[in-house]
Amino acid sequence: MEILVVDDNKEICELIENILLSEGYDVESCCNPLEFSSIIKINKPKLIITDLLMSGYDGRTLTKEIRGNPETQHIKIIMMSAHPDAKKLSEIAGVDDFLTKPFEIDDLVSKVAFLMKK
């Protein structure tokens, strides 16, 4: 697994999975953020795409955990959000890139491609 999508909305998870699958990436998604911790223990993806505001477990906490753990801190993170101030908040949290919801597929694809090449 190269890319893990974490969003509490199942449809978003599926959409991104579909887009990236069609681009030929190895994608999996997790639509229950509380399961994320157990998944990450087993799998170490290259990129995580997540949302800033999720019920119970938001993108900032996720970023903190990834960055705080030496085993996972190299993982790239793209943060998404419909929140008007999300871009700034994400930058503060220390993510690699940001995507406004709703997004253009081309934007998503190019940002993913850029980070996967690194």
Q: Which residues bind other proteins (CB under 8 A)?
A: 9, 11-12, 15-16, 18-19, 22, 53, 82-85, 101-106
Closest CA to 108 of 86, 85, 78: 78
What is the token pair recorded at 85? 């101030």
**Nearest approach, Cβ of residue 20 and other proteins (Å):** 11
Q: Quote the CA–CA distance of 40 and 113 in Å, as a whole number.
A: 22
Contact (CB, 8 A) for 33 and 57: yes
Identify which of residues 34 and 105 has a Cβ nearer to other proteins in the complex: 105
Identify which of residues 22 and 73 has a Cβ nearer to other proteins in the complex: 22
**Nearest approach, Cβ of residue 88 and other proteins (Å):** 8
Identify which of residues 10 and 44 has a Cβ nearer to other proteins in the complex: 10
**Nearest approach, Cβ of residue 29 and other proteins (Å):** 13
Contact (CB, 8 A) for 27 and 5: yes
Query: Directed axis angle between helix 59-68 and helix 86-93, to 10°?
Result: 20
**Nearest approach, Cβ of residue 49 and other proteins (Å):** 13
Residue 57 DSSP code: S
Identify which of residues 55 and 73 has a Cβ nearer to other proteins in the complex: 55
